[in-house]
Amino acid sequence: MNWFRDFLLPRGASTHVGEMDGLFMFITWLTVFFFFFNGALILYAVRRWRRRSNKEVTPHITHDTRLELVWSLIPLAVVMLIFLWGFKGYVKAWVVPNDAMEIIATGKKWVWEFEYPDGTRTLNDLHVPVNRPVKLVLTSEDVIHSFYIPEFRLKRDAIPGRYTELWFTATEPGIAQVYCTEYCGKGHSDMLARIFVDTPEQYETFLREGDEQVQKMPLKDLGRLVWENKGCATCHSLDGTRGQGPSWKGIWNQRHRGADGKEHLVDADYIRQSILMPQAMVVQGYEPIMPTYQGLLREREILGLIEFIKELQ
Amino acid sequence: MSTAVPSAHAHAEGGHTPFLQHHFREMSQQFDAAKIGMWLFLVTEVLLFGGLFVGYGIMHARHPEAFMAAHHHLDKTMGALNTVVLLISSFTMVLSVWAAQTSRKKLLILFLLLTLACAGTFMVVKYFEYSHKFHEGLLPGKYYSHKGDTVPGQFLFFSFYFMMTGLHGIHVLLGMAAIAWLVWRAARGHFSSAYYAPVEITGLYWHLVDLIWIYLFPLMYLIS
Amino acid sequence: MSEGVLHAGAGHAVHHADYLEEPKGLWSWLTTVDHKRIGLMYMWSVLFFFLVGGIFALLIRLELLTPKQTIMDAETYNRVFTLHGAIMTFLVIIPAIPAALGNFALPLLLGAKDVAFPRLNLASLYVYWTGAAMAVATLALGGVDTGWTFYTPYSTTTGGGVTLMVLAAFVLGFSSIFTGVNFIATIHKLRAPGMGWFEMPLFCWGMYATALIQILATPVLGITLLLIVMERVLGVGIFDPQLGGDPVLFQHFFWFYSHPAVYIMILPAMAVISEVIPTFSKKTIFGYKAIAFSSVAIALLGFLVWAHHMFVAGMSLFAGAIFSFLTFFIAIPSAIKVFNWIATMWRGSISLEAPMLYAISFLLIFTIGGLTGLFLAALSTDVHLHDTYFVVSHFHYVMAGSNLIALLAGMHYWWPKMYGRLYNKKLAAISCALIFIGFNMTFLPQFVLGSRGMPRRYFNYLPQFQDLHVASTIGSWVLAAGLFLTAAYLLASFRQPKGMAANPWGGRTLEWETTSPPTTHNFEGQPVLQHGPYDYRPEPAPVGVKELAH
Amino acid sequence: MTHANEHAHPVTSPKTYGLVLLALLVLTVITVQASYFDFGPWNTVVALIIASAKGSLVALFFMHLRHDKFNAVIFVGGLLFLAIFLIWTLFDISTRQTVLPSNLKTPVEEFPGAPLGGPVRPSTGQPRGMPAQ
């Protein structure tokens, strides 16, 4: 019945999958069984004892203690089994191995920021080596977010003012999707991140020079990629619609009036400053909510964004 | 299975008072129902205040120094005075229930008025305490502007102080309104040993207000 | 009232003014203290808001037809699902059965003339209307985008009419408390002579258990909501991590109410089903005491398990284990009830009238709703499924499916008693089938969406989820068609003249022993209980209401 | 179930009430005096025990719970659920681990000068709503 499991559950790609999937399928079959069991009993009763005349007399059965005990104790036994099974998996997911590599994940409206042990930072793209335990320490800068990786069967809230943790060992190289599952406002459903499960060599390369593909890309394509992946798209549109921040359409070489009343020419320096020190110049009529990207973007990526914005005439 | 218990005799007994509502069979049934209703309402009050007590307890455990430092701004004497005033008001309230039970109309009105006077005194003392806090900038939440705090987070204590004593104060005012209404009805001679449920249940409410203060007093004024 | 006319039992057709006609005029309805009129006004208010919340639901489903924007933008979508949740929870499901059907039926079932505090009952209705008006007024302030759970710090930092919406929910809490106080006092003090606790119809036990929760949990919601108001207005800091507070504390406060509140939604549904099944099986209820006690057990156990909403919020292993363990105990009384209902049908004389069809539909939907709860009580599966469409689907099965289908069962059951008229039975059967199919079509795909990882409250979603979303949206239209059909034939029944027999279904509880519709004071004189509520044995003794001198 | 008549309810004499008031006043004096002593961690416990003694007197005598078993059950039941609320919440909050990231150099205060080991602001990024430089 693997097709049924594959229909219900996404690909499994961490060490937590087996435990959870086994229990999930057990309860699924239990639900299916009792649905049809109860359905069959009802159907049988309705067909067998359908009222034919209003004068029918029914037996006066008030209760049957033995029968009632049976259908209290059997469910009790089943749910205790489920409890223990669920608890077992949870303990495993809870106790972090000592050799786990620690990555700090910070949620903010509406991006995930990752900080690696060596100080490298990425936005929305998390690179982890395959077959090595990784511990994520989660926190949030504004409201509660939740870090959810369906393919790892894992989820943990990121709570402002607190740190929570979760750990996993990814078992196959590839890309796993991350969702935010605690409602956090307008960009909630776009607060997506990806986990790149790398081979050890790939991971080394990543730490050294960032993502390989990205390095080879033409600047303006890189700019678009950054816009898509690093959270720009959540607030800045490309088609002129007003978001949390100004749209990028046609802003190159235009003059922006800042909250301070002065006018600024949108050129390369201006864009660089807006990315690295967003609070220095806020365009009139917008909230000063953009986080700084200092240390989060490589120089080439900033150049890429400038080229990308140039193209958006 | 029980058999029918005819209760027709009850009608004759309850029938003579104009205060028996149509859906009750007899006065005692109406009285008991009113009391159950009031006690259930008191339970909801306990849980309403309970939420604040739980919040207070958890925040106190999180910021013990801040709460300790902040509570020194409260005046123990004023708090103790108000405790005594409320205890006496409870005493006069219970005496007015007794007066109603024993059909002493004049005493009933007297005790009710004394209760009102105590409640008024309580509110006056509270007024002085509040205005003193306002003056010093000891306001709740973002309006907190007191200078010279040594421990941060003292505003949290005052958030709770104002929310808890404020909610309690509102209850005192509501109680005063209810007691004033009792005075009005008592003056019209509505209450006697045959019918005094409103006095009894207002009394219950009033004692609960007192009871909550009994806990607020040490938690706010006496922590150390 | 017709003086001096004695009714010795069911079936008398002496016409006299019923509670619908006497006294006349709108003003008499607005100032009435008659529990039946208040119940009806509640019912129509609830149905009105069900329509409003349902339209929001259809809009949500329509928006989710495509992975990106379909008919509205993200901000509108967030407001629409918040309003859907808030209206459906606070204005529809919580009052649906207790305040509407409970108010109408409870005193009748107890053989009482009214609830213990009729004026408080009317006040509760006005408080409900006030709260409802406030909730609707938030639309003028730009709506609310917090979700009905008002999680901090989002709810204390976002704009719009959150403060007003929170106050609306606070006010609505009072209407719930008033109903609860009233029902407990009524059940304790106004049972007909001869009606011991175990001669009460099970509906009353269900209402009693519900009222317990309403009294014990609602005040905590009240103070929680006040704290949000204080946080927004004064910045008191208790839930704000920037100020030294704790947002997780809010979740405890909120779920101390809202988890038991889930049982405010399901216990009354079970109460209705416990009436319908014996009547249409013409057989005594199987395991009366087990059903009665399991209602109370669910109500009380429900207070011990709320933290299972926080398994992924950084709870310790130990705490997680305890709350998960306790949660499983809710499953036992629920299972007992389902099996007892089926056992009641066993060897009965089953008549498939509309209320029974709805009851069977309830049994099947509740089986799914209840069993899928096990996924969320078990720790490891909850970690995967929490806050996904699986949860959305599970609670719609329990709340929307079970509660509203039981509401429909109850409405069809007591409609002849309420209005003295009958609806079109064929159409009723068709719409019951449509609702059952539509409901499952809407929500079964959502289980799969959730287990595949689709998070809840998503405006955009990845293209891989689209097929199931489309299926769900089409299901929502089938469901809506069924509900509109129900509305149509129920309204059409008013075109018939009143002429129902006192006891059209052959029920054995006291409400069937007065006329349909009853008079203002329910019974002529004080009914005295002569037999148990589900006693279908043929008996020589005269049945039911005995007259007492008044 | 017997229905007592309204006037058949037991009437307590004013003298008893007077004695109860006296006891309450004495306990008030005791609790104020006790607040000047340092019982260490037991300070709050002592204060709450005295408050509960006073509360019981009020409930038993002034609120007539002495003669009113049924409503006493309601009231104590309410308190029981309040206790569940407090204990369950404390249970979760107090067993939460203080997870801290290993690279956290100094605890950044959540508000200036807070000597807290517990929650801290994240080490990166700007606080929400920070004014423009």
Q: What is the pLDDT of residues B181-211, one digit of tens each?
A: 999 999 999 999 999 999 999 999 999 999 9
d(CA A115, CA A101): 11
- Nearest CA to A206 out of A279, A114, A280 is that of A114
Domains of chain B: 27-142+151-221 (1.20.120.80)
Report the share of chain D in percent with pLDDT over 70.
Answer: 70
Q: What is the pLDDT of residues A158-198, one digit of tens each?
A: 999 889 999 999 999 999 999 999 999 999 999 999 999 99
Q: What is the pLDDT of residue A211?
A: 64
Q: What is the pLDDT of residue D9?
A: 66
Q: Which helix H or strand E contains B143, and what residues bound it?
A: none
Using a CB–CB cutoff of 8 Å, tell me whether D86 touches chain B: yes
Q: Is A49–C346 a contact, with Cβ atoms under 8 angstroms apart?
A: yes
Q: What is the pLDDT of residue D52?
A: 95
Question: Residue type for B116, please?
Answer: L
Q: Is D62–B91 a contact, with Cβ atoms under 8 angstroms apart?
A: yes
B3 neighbourhood in chain C, CB within 8 Å: 194
pLDDT higher than threshold 60 for residue C322: yes
**Which partners does chain A have (≥3 C-beta pairs < 8 Å)?**
C, D
Distance from CA of C249 to the nearest CA of B (A): 8
Residue of C nearest to D127 (CA): C242
Domain boundaries, chain C: 32-513
Structure-token pair, residue A138: 């989660």
Contact C112, C191 (CB under 8 A): yes
Section C288-312 average pLDDT: 94
Using a CB–CB cutoff of 8 Å, tell me whether C321 touches chain D: no
Q: B49 falls in which pLDDT band (50, 70, 90)? A: very high
Using a CB–CB cutoff of 8 Å, tell me whether D25 touches chain B: yes
d(CA B83, CA B75): 13
Residue position matching structure tokens 């660089």: A272
Q: C541 falls in which pLDDT band (50, 70, 90)? A: very low
Report the share of chain A in percent with pLDDT over 90.
Answer: 48
A161 neighbourhood in chain D, CB within 8 Å: 110, 119-121
Nearest to B98 among D14, D47, D86 (CB): D14
Report the share of chain C in percent with pLDDT over 70.
Answer: 95
Pick the CATH number of C32-513 from 3.90.78.10, 1.10.260.40, 1.10.760.10, 1.20.210.10: 1.20.210.10
Distance from CA of A260 to the nearest CA of C (A): 24
Q: What is the pLDDT of residue A2?
A: 85
What value of ipTM does the predicted structure carry? 0.88
D112 neighbourhood in chain B, CB within 8 Å: 152
Domain boundaries, chain D: 11-63, 68-95
Tell which of D80, D92, D128 to mutate to test the C interface (max C CBs under 10 Å). D92
Give burial (CB, 10 Å; 0-12/13-18/19+) of A39.
middle
Q: What is the pLDDT of residue D104?
A: 59
Q: D122 falls in which pLDDT band (50, 70, 90)? A: very low
Summary mean pLDDT of chain B: 88
With an 8 Å CB cutoff and a minimum of 3 pairs, decide whether chains C and D touch: yes
D119 neighbourhood in chain C, CB within 8 Å: 241, 244, 246
Q: What is the pLDDT of residues C91-136, one digit of tens each?
A: 999 999 999 999 999 999 999 999 999 999 999 999 999 999 999 9
B32 neighbourhood in chain C, CB within 8 Å: 188-189
d(CA C418, CA C13): 16
pLDDT higher than threshold 80 for residue D26: yes
**Which partners does chain B have (≥3 C-beta pairs < 8 Å)?**
C, D
Question: Do the domains A2-51+59-94 and A101-213 sit in the same CATH topology, yes or no?
Answer: no
Distance from CA of C372 to the nearest CA of B (A): 32
d(CA C20, CA C497): 13
**Which partners does chain C have (≥3 C-beta pairs < 8 Å)?**
A, B, D
Using a CB–CB cutoff of 8 Å, tell me whether B3 touches chain D: no
A259 neighbourhood in chain D, CB within 8 Å: 132
Q: Is B48–C244 a contact, with Cβ atoms under 8 angstroms apart?
A: no
Residue of D nearest to B211 (CA): D55
Distance from CA of C479 to the nearest CA of B (A): 39
Q: D32 falls in which pLDDT band (50, 70, 90)? A: very high
Domain boundaries, chain A: 2-51+59-94, 101-213, 217-311
Nearest to D118 among B62, B197, B207 (CB): B62
Q: What is the pLDDT of residue A298?
A: 78
Contact C379, C311 (CB under 8 A): yes
Residues 6+ apart with CB under 8 A from C437: C478, C482
Q: What is the pLDDT of residues C203-258, one digit of tens each?
A: 999 999 999 999 999 999 999 999 999 999 988 888 988 888 889 999 999 999 99
Summary mean pLDDT of chain C: 91
- Per DSSP, the residues of chain D read -----GGGSPPPPHHHHHHHHHHHHHHHHHHHHHTTS--GGGHHHHHHHHHHHHHHHIIIIIT-GGG-HHHHHHHHHHHHHHHHHHHHHHHHHHH------TT--SPPPSSTT---SS----SSSPPTTPPP-
The answer to whether domain A101-213 has CATH 1.10.10.60 is: no
Section A15-27 average pLDDT: 93
Contact C324, C281 (CB under 8 A): no
Section A199-209 average pLDDT: 84
pLDDT higher than threshold 70 for residue B3: no
Q: What is the pLDDT of residue D8?
A: 52
| Sheet containing strand A101-108, strands side by side | A121-123, A111-115, A101-108, A133-140, A164-169
Using CA atoms of C484, C489, C491, C496 in order, give the dihedral in degrees to the nearest 10: 170
Q: What is the pLDDT of residues C460-482, one digit of tens each?
A: 999 999 999 999 999 999 999 99
Architecture per CATH, domain A217-311, reads as Orthogonal Bundle (1.10)
Q: D112 falls in which pLDDT band (50, 70, 90)? A: very low
Tell which of D126, D130, D133 to mutate to test the A interface (max A CBs under 10 Å). D126
Q: Is D96–C314 a contact, with Cβ atoms under 8 angstroms apart?
A: yes
Q: What is the pLDDT of residue A212?
A: 60
Q: What is the pLDDT of residues A262-292, one digit of tens each?
A: 888 888 888 888 888 888 888 888 888 888 8
Residue of A nearest to D100 (CA): A163
Q: What is the pLDDT of residues C442-465, one digit of tens each?
A: 999 999 999 999 999 999 999 999
pLDDT higher than threshold 50 for residue C543: no
Q: Is C242–D111 a contact, with Cβ atoms under 8 angstroms apart?
A: yes
Angle CA A53–A58–A64, to nearest 5:
155
Q: What is the pLDDT of residues C54-83, one digit of tens each?
A: 999 999 999 999 999 999 999 999 999 999
Nearest to B58 among C112, C224, C249 (CB): C249
Section C46-58 average pLDDT: 96
Residue of C nearest to D84 (CA): C304
Nearest to B222 among D11, D31, D81 (CB): D31
More confident residue, C361 or A305: C361
More confident residue, C363 or A115: C363
d(CA B85, CA B83): 5
Distance from CA of C281 to the nearest CA of D (A): 34
Pick the CATH number of A2-51+59-94 from 1.20.210.10, 3.90.380.10, 3.90.950.20, 1.10.287.90: 1.10.287.90
Residues 6+ apart with CB under 8 A from C294: C332, C333, C334, C336, C337
**How many CB atoms lie under 10 A from the CB of residue C521?**
17
Q: What is the pLDDT of residue C309?
A: 94
